Amino acid sequence: LCSLCRDILIEEDNIQRVESPVVICGDIHGQFYDLMELFKVGGECPETNYLFLGDYVDRGFYSVETLLLLIALKVRYPDRITLIRGNHESRQITQVYGFYDECVRKFGNVNVWRCCTDLFDYMALSAIIDNKVFAVHGGLSPAL
């Protein structure tokens, strides 16, 4: 699944063009059941266009399930799901805030963690909605 998603993401730009209407979702942090509620409220995919702004993993108990659902939807509906990379989509952060430990606990080794964190490297960094709205996970650097 990670390999299939990587093949899609590698063809996408770092700045994704998104058309409205779109449901924009912030940090999920492994809260799988909250993600399911988001789909109930916002609408099922592919009828609804979604932009996720990162932080899919860490802190919650279901980071693996949350991320795998999102990437499965990305593979199935690549034009309806946009995944932006957040600060928790990094190897270093996931080793501190729980995703690494969750993967080892659930699978007995680091293979799933490694596949997922390799995928993070291919995620877009921002989106532009209707050529009007700039969307990122955490904001712009003050140095810019």
pLDDT tens profile 38-88: 999 999 999 999 999 999 999 999 999 999 999 999 999 999 999 999 999
- How does residue 99 score in pLDDT terms, banded at 50, 70 and 90? very high
> Is 88 one of the catalytic residues?
yes
User: CATH number of the domain that 6 lies in?
Assistant: 3.60.21.10
Quick check: 13 pLDDT over 80? yes
pTM: 0.94
Residue 59 lies in a domain: yes
Q: Chain-wide mean pLDDT for the chain?
A: 97
Q: Give the contacts of 23 (CB within 8 A, at least 6 positions apart).
A: 38, 42, 43, 48, 49, 50, 51
Residue 102 lies in a domain: yes
Query: Average pLDDT in the 82-104 region?
Result: 97
Residue 83 lies in a domain: yes
Q: Is the peptide bond before 46 cis (omega within 30 degrees of 0)?
A: yes
Quick check: 16 pLDDT over 90? yes
Residue 32 lies in a domain: yes
- Report how many domains make up the chain: 1
Share of the chain above pLDDT 70, in %: 99
State the pLDDT at residue 73.
Answer: 99
- How does residue 139 score in pLDDT terms, banded at 50, 70 and 90? confident
Residue 143 lies in a domain: no
Q: Give the contacts of 71 (CB within 8 A, at least 6 positions apart).
A: 1, 2, 5, 83, 119
Residue 141 lies in a domain: no
- How does residue 89 score in pLDDT terms, banded at 50, 70 and 90? very high
Residue 6 lies in a domain: yes
Decide: 74 and 83 in contact? Cβ < 8 Å.
Answer: yes
Single out the catalytic residue among 6, 74, 88, 137. Answer: 88
Quick check: 119 pLDDT over 90? yes
Q: Which amino acid is at 64?
A: V
Q: Structural domain of residue 124, as residue ranges?
A: 2-135
Residue 140 lies in a domain: no
